[in-house]
Amino acid sequence: MDIKHVAKLANLPLTADEEKRFSAQLTAILNLVSQLQKVPTKNVVPTSQVTGQENVFRDDKIETERILTQDEALSNAKKTYNGYFVVPRIFKNDH
Amino acid sequence: MTIDECYQNIGRIADKTNAFITVISKAEAVKKMQHAKSFLSGVPFVLKDSYVTKHIKTTAASNVLKDYLPQYSATVYRRLEGAGAILLGKMNMDAWGHGGTSENTDFGPVKNPWDLTRVAGGSGGGPAVAVVTDCADFAIGEDTGGSIRNPAAWCGITGLKVTYGRVSRYGCIAYASSFDTVGPTARTAQQCARILRVIAGKDPYDATSSNKPVPDYVGQLKKPLGKLTIGWPKELFGEGLDWEIKIAIEQARRELEKHGIKIKEISMPLFSYGVPVYYIIAPSETSSNLGRYDGVRFGNGRENFTSETKRRIMVGTYALSAGYYDAYYKKAQQVRTLFIKEYAKALSECDMVLMPVNPTPPPKIGELINDPVKKLLADYYTTSQNPVGVPSLALPCGFTRSGLPIGMQLVGKMFSEDLLLQVGYRYQQATDWHTRKPKL
Amino acid sequence: MKITPIIGLEVHVELATASKMFCGCPADHFGKPPNIQTCPVCLGLPGALPVPNKKAVEWTIILAQALDCKINLISKFDRKNYFYPDLPKGYQITQYDQPFGENGKLGKIRIRRVHLEEDTGKLQHEGQQSLVDFNRSGVPLVEIVTEPDFRSVEEVDVYLKKLQRIIRYLGISSADMEKGSMRLEPSISLSNDGSLPNYRVEVKNINSFRFVRMALEYEIKRQQKEPHIQQTRGWSEAKNATVPQREKEEAHDYRYFPDPDIPPIRMSNEQLAIIKEQIPELPEAKLTRFVKQYNLSQYAANILTDDKNTADYFEEAAKLSDQFADIANWIINKKADITTLVPAQLVEQIKKSQTAMPVDKTALEQAIKTVLSANPKAVADYKKGKTAVIGFFLGKISQAVKIPANDMIRTVLERMLNAR
């Protein structure tokens, strides 16, 4: 595993020590889970959830009960300004 | 139990066991008491600290959320409060549910009341400790791969992992969304039935919650058992299982047979793939679920995750990443399909399956913490049910010679909690393992 | 050597549902104070779960059907994982491999897919910090992706206008560029032989049809001079140019997987048929019918069908009177205020203006023709938009036919002026 690359994708700031330690541990974990390669799964449909449900919707209605006031919304933020959450300057980027 | 007794016990055990992250002030609890008049009027309970409680600190046992005061409450908490139950505390656990020993916590490892040098199990170690030490009548845990059953077994109480979708997950801090289940843990199956009656059912805020009618779990307990067959998967009682646990469960098997229950040997050849399936899908989902913890709207930065959590995020990110998705994530979801078939087959030959909860008695604190792989294998018996969704009831069934609790589990068909509880109730009428209390 | 631009388009449209995609917060976020329309779900609080908005799903399917897409009978929502401060959950709920609609077309442009997702919050930049507002977070957003089928800027323009009209006809979005409810991302490359090049340049941050044209024209020129590399650029209004956006150090890896919080969506052919019935007559079909049924010019029919309200108004009036040309003319030229005047009143006014005219129609038309021919400069002025010359013409005509100027004379005059 390319630890630096994966940590970057995961947005995890790892220390040099962690990178080193995890490297061996993650390899061991991946070896363990790789046992699965032994199970034949040709033409087996993957299962991503087991609810057995389909078409669960809500009606298009405004629901005031759960709406937070601006103060509530911001109440756990480290930094706010004039009703906004504040983060260090982000340069325009795309997604 | 009275609120007074509970607070006495909390005072006695909280520091010794690290079970509590937050204790609600007695004045606050008593205040709620006066308004209560309902199904669970005045019944004291605690929540695993993975449930958001409005204006009550909720941490998921992580420094990332150590000061977090939620702006809303989980459905399960609202339902219990609505039924008159009184919240006394928020319980320690493996941070985010990541672990089976409650050592992966930023609030100190939870200690087992039967032997304070040993782990209480996890991830819901705190809730189990609270119940076995009489700090509350019941606790709400959250089971993703054994997090209710494992500590219940290692602490000597009853724990119910419900069918996926039976209880709303709204407000339950997500670990692995397609595995997470919300359920009760208490001394007895009877109490679990009482709690489940209140918390089960459709929630419009959780699209995966089931709209199947909620049976009268309590009323069903005393009904005649009828003709029942319990499956005995022989390969699960072989190598790797502690001999004392094996003997205890064999004894329980004989007890069940006395009640006219037929035991039938079955085979579950894929069972041992439970751990790899679990350790691919759960980290994958958690890598995504924990994406929201960026320290902007709430909480502290991502560097505050523990090593165990970081490892799981890394594994999951890797399993979903370009080039590895098919070999890991997709492969695991395919084997998951095979698991579902395997369980369906097993449960077509019997009404429920009896198996161990833990391969060993509770290990010493620190014993597993530096060996992630060994730690994974400790979850051998409890990880394969969650990918399938089936319910499972963990019941105390004995003690080791050194006085550590032993548990077993009954795994049933989807939405068969009523039957599991009925058998559990019957078993507990005839045994007293669940009534024993640690001397602390 | 002939150079052909190869252009594809991604269009994002915010749906005009009352509530957001996965929660009950109001979807209308334009111009609101920051962070007043959020809840645990769209703010991505711990433990919150999404429940999809039924109307948003139906509207996406309607749009996909209107664009001749094949509708997937089983669809699902997926998570697209990436980190950005305007994305509260660390993932966007979108559709990856089973979108609601695929393989459609609009005119000769092939539509690759139509899918539904949630919008992000909004970032604004101030000094050394960026400010985040989550009012827009979770607003339903439909993405319409074409194949790289455009071969000229003109084709893009025509497509966008058609698409905007269809969306407005369906009543599913204001498709208002200025409010950001319609957003455009063209990608363009140049080909020497008409085959698909192995690179493309995406242009982001475009908020008007005019800027799409300008950006594409700019790129066509730029790419003829500069090396052909895969790139993301942004449109800079200030520079009137596209500028390279900061390159990502690594390629995107969004780690899509099915969202476990949302059960799949299954549609039967019967359900799809019912949804399809809700699709009104679309602009293209209406235009053709107007020309045929009401004997209107292409020009008049085009204006009348540009927006559905006007078209409906015309048809209401046309039920009451068979003077279709006059009704059209009054609506188009007179700018009869159709918001205050009901169709019956309009028809009444037209009739009155006609009975007030004791003059033979042929004689009138002859007189107008003479006046217009005698005053080419005034006609030219009119064409330039100087409508004041109407008064001058009316005076001359009135003298010629020996009756005071009236609405009918004015109507005929305008029609003839416009026809010149």
Cα–Cα distance, C12 to B336 (Å, whole number): 36
For residue A91, is it within any domain? Answer: no
* Neighbouring subunits of B (3+ Cβ pairs under 8 A): A, C
Q: Give C327-350 as a DSSP string.
A: HHHHHHTS---TTTS-HHHHHHHH
What is the rounded distance in angstroms from the CA atom of residue B264 to the CA atom of residue B232? Answer: 6
Percent of chain B with pLDDT over 90: 94
Judge whether B222 counts as a catalytic residue: no
Provide the pLDDT confidence category of residue A66 given band limits of 50, 70 and 90. very high
Query: What is C268-326 written as a DSSP string?
Result: -HHHHHHHHHTPPPPHHHHHHHHHHHH---HHHHHHHTSSHHHHHHHHHHHHH-S-HHH
> From the CA of C253, how many Å to the nearest CA of chain B?
6
Question: H or E stretch including B195?
Answer: helix B189-199
Instruction: Look up the CATH number of the domain holding residue A15.
Output: 1.10.20
Nearest-neighbour CA in chain C from A44: distance (Å): 17
SS (H, E, C) B216-249: CHHHHCCCCCCCCEEEEEHHHHCCCCCHHHHHHH
CB neighbour list of residue B365: distance below 8 Å, 6 or more residues apart: B101, B103, B109, B111, B117, B118, B119
Residue at A69 is within a domain: no
The three-state secondary structure class of B70 is coil
How far does C270 lie from chain A, in Å, by closest CA?
A: 15
- Position C143 scores a pLDDT of 98
- Residue B209 to residue B12: CA distance in whole angstroms: 38
Domain ranges of chain B: 3-270+352-435
What percent of chain A is predicted at pLDDT more than 70?
95
DSSP string of B236-283, one letter each residue:
GGSTTS-HHHHHHHHHHHHHHHHTT-EEEEE--TTGGGHHHHHHHHHH
Contact B49, B110 (CB under 8 A): no
The pLDDT value given to residue C353? 74
Q: Of B345, B371, B354, which is closest to residue B99 (Cα–Cα)?
A: B371
What Rg do the C-alpha atoms of chain C give, in angstroms?
26
Contact B52 C46 (CB under 8 A): yes
Averaged pLDDT of chain B: 96
Which listed residue (B62, B102, B147, B284) is catalytic? B147
Pseudo-torsion of CA A43, A49, A55, A61, nearest 10°?
-150
Chain C CB within 8 Å of residue A4 CB: no
- Cβ(B26)–Cβ(B7) below 8 Å: yes
Q: Which of B204, B295, B335 sits opposite A78 (nearest CB)?
A: B295
**Other chains touching C, judged by 3 or more CB pairs under 8 Å:** A, B
Backbone angles phi, psi at C199, to 5 degrees: -150, 165
Chain C residue with the nearest C-alpha to that of B60: C46
Question: Cα separations (Å) of B323 from A30, B328, C250?
Answer: 15, 10, 15
Cα–Cα distance for residue pair C116/C49, rounded to 1 Å: 18
Looking at residue C385, what is its pLDDT? 80
Nearest neighbour of C47 by CB, restricted to B173, B284, B317: B173
| Inside any domain, residue A56 | no
Q: Is A27 within the bounds of a domain?
A: yes
Contact between residue B435 and residue B422 where contact means Cβ atoms under 8 Å apart: no
A94: pLDDT strictly greater than 70: no
Indicate yes or no: CB of B174 within 8 angstroms of CB of C47: yes
Residues of C in contact with A68 (CB under 8 A): 38-40, 43
Prediction pTM value = 0.91
**C39 contacts A67? CB cut-off 8 A:** yes
| CA dist list (Å): B28 to B8, B25, B32, B33, B78 | 16, 5, 7, 9, 16
Kindly list the residues from chain A whose CB atom is less than 8 angstroms away from the CB atom of residue C38: 67-68, 73
**Domain tally for chain A?**
1
Element (H, E) at B410: strand B405-412
Spell out the per-residue pLDDT of chain C, length 420, in tens: 688 999 999 999 999 999 999 999 999 999 999 999 999 999 999 999 999 999 999 999 999 999 999 999 999 999 999 999 999 999 999 999 999 999 999 999 999 999 999 999 999 998 899 999 999 999 999 999 999 999 999 999 999 999 999 999 999 999 999 899 999 999 999 998 889 999 999 998 788 999 999 999 999 999 999 999 999 999 998 999 999 986 554 457 999 999 999 999 999 999 999 999 989 999 999 999 999 999 998 888 999 999 899 999 999 999 998 888 888 888 887 666 777 888 888 888 888 777 655 667 788 888 899 999 999 898 888 888 887 888 888 888 888 887 777 777 888 888 888 877
| 3-class secondary-structure state, position A70 | helix
Q: How far is CA B141 from CA B71, B75, C66, C317, in A?
A: 21, 14, 49, 68
Query: Please, are residues B369 and B103 in contact by the beta-carbon 8 Å criterion?
Result: yes
pLDDT in tens, B117-169: 999 999 999 999 999 999 999 999 999 999 999 999 999 999 999 999 999 99
Name the band, by pLDDT with cuts 50, 70 and 90, for residue A59.
Answer: very high
Task: Please give the CATH architecture assigned to the domain spanning C359-420.
Answer: Orthogonal Bundle (1.10)
pLDDT score for C409: 82
* CA of B251 vs chain A CAs: smallest distance (Å): 33
* CA dist., res. B232 & res. B262, Å (int): 10
Give the β-pairing of B138-143 and B115-119: unpaired
Give the pLDDT of residue B236.
95
Instruction: Tell me what pLDDT residue C249 has.
Output: 43
pLDDT for the residue C399: 82
- Tokens 């970057």 -> residue: A8
In a domain, A79, yes or no: no
3-state SS class at B88:
strand
Q: For residue A12, is pLDDT > 50? A: yes
Cα B154 versus chain centre, distance: 12
Q: Which pLDDT band, with edges at 50, 70 and 90, does B378 fall under?
A: confident
Q: Break chain C into its structural domains and give their ranges.
A: 4-276, 281-355, 359-420
For the stretch B65-104, pLDDT in tens is 999 999 999 999 999 999 999 999 999 999 999 999 999 9
Res B37 pLDDT > 80: no
Nearest residue, CB atoms, C52 vs list A57, A65, A83: A57
Residue A92 lies in a domain: no
Is A51 a domain residue? no
Binary contact (C48, B170; C-beta < 8 A): yes
For residue B260, give both structure tokens. 């006219």
Return the C-alpha torsion angle C166, C167, C168, C171, nearest 10: 120
For B155-208, the pLDDT digits (tens) are 999 999 999 999 999 999 999 999 999 999 999 999 999 999 999 999 999 999
Cis amide prior to B123 (ω within 30 degrees):
yes
Whether A73 sits inside 8 A of C87 (CB atoms) is no
Select the residue of A62, A68, A89 nearest C125 (Cβ to Cβ): A89
Nearest to B375 by CA among B383, B78, C173: B383
Question: Quick one: pLDDT at residue C414?
Answer: 85
* Torsion-angle region of B61 (φ positive above 0: left; ψ -120 to 50: alpha; else: beta): left
Q: How confident is the model at residue A93 (pLDDT cuts 50, 70, 90)?
A: very low
Residue closest to B160 by CA, chosen among B184, B129, B181 = B184
- Total CB pairs under 8 A between chain A and C: 147
> What fold, for B3-270+352-435?
Amidase signature (AS) enzymes (3.90.1300)
pLDDT tens for residues A26-42?
Answer: 999 999 999 999 999 99
Confidence check: pLDDT of B296 > 90: yes
